[in-house]
A = this chain, B = another copy of it.
Amino acid sequence: MHFTSERRLEDGVLEREFTLGEIPGTLWTPGSPESVAPVAPVPLVLMAHNNGLPKADPRLVARARYTAARGYAVAGIDAAGCGDRPRTAAAEQARADLRRAIGAGEPVDEIFESLIGPMVENAVPDWRTTLDALLELPGIGGPVGYSGGWTALGVRLAVVEPRIVAAGFFAGGYVPRAQREEARQVTIPLLFLLQWDDEGNPRQRALDLFDAFGSEEKTLHANLGGHTGTPWFELEDGGRFLDRHLKPVRRAV
């Protein structure tokens, strides 16, 4: 892992760009104040944006900075086929098909299957490689959480990656049938965030997915409004969810 740039943000968070082989990533870590006392390792949060949007997406960056300031190392990457990285010819074709189908008002589920399904499969190895490398850095310890708009990737990672102990998912985004099936194998605590009137994402499908998760501890937060209308307080709620599961000392009730 090579850090290629770093800057200290006004909230004290250190933002570092890195490359790991072909994988470009960003790591946000909480500011070390002027204290010279040794800083205990902080838990790690993997943050992936919806269906492979770039790690530089402003909404993801805002969530990452907030979470880092709360006391976490937060990492985002552009995995294979995501963000600005090269796309397969099949993915390019699927995107073209998608634009055409949406324009024509035709069904899009099968096109999403052919686009998102392989994208999830391709992204998983890059995320696991990144996780390996991050956990070798000083100052970053387990446990690991996932907090992402990209639910399909999160489901896949939660199934194959035992180091992830809690996950926050956003319901707005296509989840391939394969991940809807394996949702039953997810058993870690979950916070599932739903926009009640998300234009492109059927509500009942999201409720069915919430129902399907195998976790004994799972919470749904649904708010009125469309895809991008998540209220600000859900950012704090998400932070508290991570605190409950990733921070060693829990507050008394």
Contacts and interface: CB of A to CB of B under 8 A. Distances in A.
Interface of A: 196, 207, 210-211, 215-224, 231-233, 235-237, 240, 244, 253
Contact of A223 (B218, B224, B253): B218
B237 A237 contact: yes
B218 A220 contact: no
A210 B222 contact: yes
| Overall SS of chain A's interface | mixed
Contact of A220 (B211, B221, B232, B237): B221
A222 B224 contact: no
Contact of A235 (B223, B233, B253): B253
Contacts of A231: 217, 219
A164 to B, nearest CB: 19
A219 B223 contact: yes
Contacts of A221: 219-221
A253 B222 CA distance: 20
A223 B189 CA distance: 11
A239 to B, nearest CB: 11
A50 B216 CA distance: 26
Contacts of A210: 222
Contacts of A223: 217-220
A235 B223 CA distance: 19
A196 B224 contact: no
Nearest to A234: B219
Contacts of A253: 232, 235-236
A219 B218 contact: no
Contacts of A219: 221-224, 231
Nearest to A223: B219
Nearest to A221: B221
Contacts of A217: 223-224, 231
Contacts of A236: 240, 253
A215 B222 CA distance: 14
Contacts of A207: 207
Contacts of A222: 210, 219-220, 222
Contact of A215 (B216, B224, B235, B237): B224
7 contacts: A217-B224, A219-B231, A220-B222, A222-B222, A233-B240, A233-B244, A236-B253
